[in-house]
Chains A and B, each alone.
Chain A
Amino acid sequence: MFDWGFTLVLLTNGLLIGLMYSLIALGFVLVYKATDAINFAQGEFVMLAGFIIAGLLFLAGAPFWVSAIVAVLGMVAFGFGLERIVLRPLIGRPIIAVIMATIGLATVLRGAAPLFFGAETRALTLPISDEPIVLGTITLPPVQLVGALLSLAFLGAFTWFFLKSRMGVAMRAVADNQQVAMAMGIHVERYFAIAWGLAGIVSALGGLAWGALLGVDVHLALIGLKVFPVVILGGLDSILGAIVGGLIVGVVENLAAGYLDPLVGGGTKDFAPYVLMIVMLMIRPYGIFGKARIERV
Chain B
Amino acid sequence: MFHRESGYYKTTYAKDMALYPMPVARWTVAAIVLLLCIAPFALHEYYVSIINLILVATVGALGLNILVGYTGQISIGHAAFMSVGAYTAANLAVKLGWPFWATLPAGGLMAAAIGAIVGIPSLRIKGLYLAIATLAGQLIIEWTINHVPAISGGAQASIEVPRPTLFGAELKTQAQLYWFLLFFAALAVVGTLNLVRSRIGRAFIAIRDQDIAAEIIGINIFRYKLLAFAISSFYAGVTGVLYTYYLGIANYEQFQIVTSIDYLAMIIIGGLGSVLGSILGAIFVTLLPIAIRLGMENWGGALFSAADINNIIPNLRLIGFGGLIILFLVLEPEGLNRLWRNIRSYFRVWPFSY
A residues at B contact (CB < 8 Å): 38, 40, 86, 89-90, 93-97, 99-101, 103-112, 114-115, 119, 225, 228-229, 232, 236, 264-267, 270-271, 274-275, 277-278, 281-282, 285, 294-297
Contacts and interface: CB of A to CB of B under 8 A. Distances in A.
Interface of B: 68, 72, 74, 76, 121, 123-129, 131-133, 135-137, 139-140, 143, 146-147, 211-212, 215, 221, 261, 264-265, 268, 311-312, 314-326, 329-330, 333
A100 B262 CA distance: 11
Contact of A107 (B123, B124, B322, B329): B322
B139 A90 contact: no
A89 B318 contact: no
Contact of A108 (B123, B131, B318): B318
Contacts of A93: 329, 333
Contacts of B139: 225, 270-271, 274
20 contacts: A90-B329, A96-B68, A97-B329, A97-B333, A99-B74, A100-B264, A100-B329, A101-B326, A103-B76, A104-B321, A105-B322, A106-B322, A107-B322, A109-B322, A114-B315, A229-B136, A271-B139, A281-B125, A282-B121, A294-B124
Contacts of A297: 123-124, 126, 211-212, 215, 221
Contact of B147 (A86, A114, A267, A295): A267
Contacts of B320: 111
B268 A278 contact: no
Contacts of B264: 100, 103
Nearest to A115: B315
Tell me the dominant secondary structure on chain B's binding face.
helix
Nearest to B149: A265
Tell me the dominant secondary structure on chain A's binding face.
helix
A96 B74 contact: yes
Nearest to B321: A107
A192 B167 CA distance: 63
A38 B124 contact: no
A253 B9 CA distance: 65
Nearest to A265: B147
Given A108-B322, A271-B139, A294-B125, 9 more contacts: A38-B131, A101-B329, A101-B330, A108-B323, A111-B316, A228-B135, A271-B140, A281-B121, A282-B121
Contacts of B314: 111
Contact of A119 (B311, B317, B318): B311
Nearest to B123: A297
A236 B126 CA distance: 14
A112 B319 contact: yes
A108 B129 contact: no
Contacts of A274: 136, 139-140
Contact of B323 (A104, A275, A295, A296): A104
A285 B127 CA distance: 12
Given A277-B136, A294-B125, A297-B212, A111 B318 contact: yes
